[in-house]
Amino acid sequence: MSELSGYKNESLKILNNAGISIGDLIKIITKTTKYSGNLLPRYEYSEENYIVIKLSNGYNIGIDAKNITNIQKIMSGEKQKFIPPEKPNVKESLPKIAILGTGGTIASRIDYKTGAVNPAFSAEELYSIIPELSAYANINTELVSNIASEQMNPEDWKNIANKVIEKIKEGNEGEIISHGTDTMAYTASALSFSLQNLSKPVIFTGSQVPMSSVRSDARRNLINSVEMATTELQEVGICFNDHVYRGNRATKLSIGDFDAFGSPNLDPIAEIGLNIELNVEPKKLIPAFENSAAFSNEIFVLTVHPSLSMNILDCLDLTKLKAIIVRTFGSGNFPMKGEYNMIPFFEKCRDHDVIVAIVSQADYDAVDLKKYPAGRAALKAGAIPGGDMTLEAALTKMMFLLAHSDSKEYIETQFQIPMAGELTVDK
């Protein structure tokens, strides 16, 4: 670690020119005010042009380098550095588990520029600050990416899937993927379709509160995930707040509770208490493991709402789409009168060979397009039902199917058949 750990570009240049090191008491003059404090080390992924000091009142602040008119060293100070805890010794006899870091709140620090939570921890840091993980498994870590989960896209899904394969080939008995909560259910669902014939657990986890917070749920979720990764589970799961949900059945239900995820139409596949209770039976015969990670972006999600203008839908360029996921009311209802009648739009999609798949805005139960006039009209216009799939599952499944076939008939058929436990049949 350098004498100016975490600093780079303009901030590093300013500090070097002034002969300032970590721990020095310094005075910073900006266009509007003056600050005095001790220079602090920064984290690798923080906003790069901010200089961070600890004020005499104990608070840390970040000062934009471009606003600094003068900086002076007042006196040398103790050269404090951020040093993660040492990686504990592990027992070679324990199961070999890989932790793949992708960013998110579980791997975050507070950003001094805005006060917001931004990605900062590497996967190695996640491991090092919870040394008791070594009691459960022989853990190896790798940072696949370090981005906020809202920035995840299909290319990231492919990269994660490829890394999972690589780690399995290296002999890992299970894998953990640390991920931001906002889009975790999408990534987990995408991987459930891509990683076919899994014989090992692939566990997603995250946290609602950053690791650096005293009230963080990160430690609990990571320890639980490591334990789950050593079980006989043979699929993609999401481990959160003592529950494990099937990856393609989960959805984020809460922004502010530790119990952030739920699986409305399928009970948790595992419960974590004094013991771990698996609610699924291990597969007896598993064909060869395959990775088929590929996803099409030629898809659109439409949420039905009162007063939805068909004039707006007419602006959609259907020549650039292959499928539309329509989130209807209830069991498949939508407006059918006057200027709000959606049937002509469905017929237009059919005429352009665009698949229309219907799921419900309601979290629980399944769409039934035969139950009410709107659903029956949608079927007549060529729409297909998505059963009790979550939006995350319906979207990623359709993206997956579109990337693997040009046959509209095949895709429509496969969409309505369970591929990875994402859909309840005959419901």
In a domain, 320, yes or no: yes
Instruction: State the pLDDT at residue 290.
Output: 81
CA distances in angstroms from 369 to 52, 332, 335, listed in the order given: 59, 6, 14
Q: Which residue among 24, 96, 102, 105 is the active-site one? A: 105
Tokens of 124: 């190695």
pLDDT, tens digit, 9 for 90 and up, residues 81-117: 555 556 666 678 899 999 998 876 665 555 444 444 4
In a domain, 83, yes or no: no
Q: Active-site residue 182, yes or no? A: yes
Instruction: State the pLDDT at residue 88.
Output: 65
Instruction: State the pLDDT at residue 107.
Output: 59
Instruction: State the pLDDT at residue 47.
Output: 66
Q: Active-site residue 141, yes or no? A: no
Number of domains present in the structure of the chain: 3
What is the CATH classification number for the domain harbouring 338? 3.40.50.40
Instruction: State the pLDDT at residue 113.
Output: 46
Instruction: State the pLDDT at residue 177.
Output: 96
Neighbour order of strands in the sheet with 276-278: 138-143, 96-101, 174-178, 202-205, 236-240, 243-246, 270-272, 276-278
| Segments of the chain scoring below 70 in pLDDT | 1-3, 43-47, 78-90, 104-128, 212-213, 285, 427
Q: Please indicate, yes or no, whether residues 411 and 282 belong to a single structural domain of this protein.
A: no
Instruction: State the pLDDT at residue 224.
Output: 96
Backbone angles phi, psi at 385, to 5 degrees: -85, 150
Instruction: State the pLDDT at residue 287.
Output: 77
Q: Please indicate, yes or no, whether residues 406 and 263 belong to a single structural domain of this protein.
A: no
Q: Please indicate, yes or no, whether residues 261 and 360 belong to a single structural domain of this protein.
A: no
Q: Please indicate, yes or no, whether residues 278 and 307 belong to a single structural domain of this protein.
A: no
Range of the domain at 346: 299-415
What is the CATH classification number for the domain harbouring 126? 3.40.50.1170
Q: Which of 135, 137, 175, 184 is nearest to 157 (CA)?
A: 184
Q: Please indicate, yes or no, whether residues 282 and 326 belong to a single structural domain of this protein.
A: no
Q: Please indicate, yes or no, whether residues 329 and 279 belong to a single structural domain of this protein.
A: no
User: Last residue of a domain, which of 231, 263, 291?
Assistant: 291
pTM: 0.81
Q: Which residue among 182, 187, 251, 397 is the active-site one? A: 182
CA atoms 382, 383, 386, 387: torsion sign: negative
Q: Please indicate, yes or no, whether residues 164 and 119 belong to a single structural domain of this protein.
A: yes
Q: Please indicate, yes or no, whether residues 285 and 303 belong to a single structural domain of this protein.
A: no
In a domain, 389, yes or no: yes
In a domain, 426, yes or no: no
Q: Which residue among 102, 141, 181, 328 is the active-site one? A: 181
Q: Which residue among 96, 200, 252, 397 is the active-site one? A: 252
Instruction: State the pLDDT at residue 43.
Output: 59
Q: Active-site residue 105, yes or no? A: yes
Instruction: State the pLDDT at residue 1.
Output: 36
In a domain, 229, yes or no: yes
Q: Please indicate, yes or no, whether residues 62 and 146 belong to a single structural domain of this protein.
A: no
Distance from C-alpha of 321 to C-alpha of 298, rounded to nearest angstrom: 5
Instruction: State the pLDDT at residue 110.
Output: 54
- Angle of CA points 237, 222, 189, to nearest 5°: 20
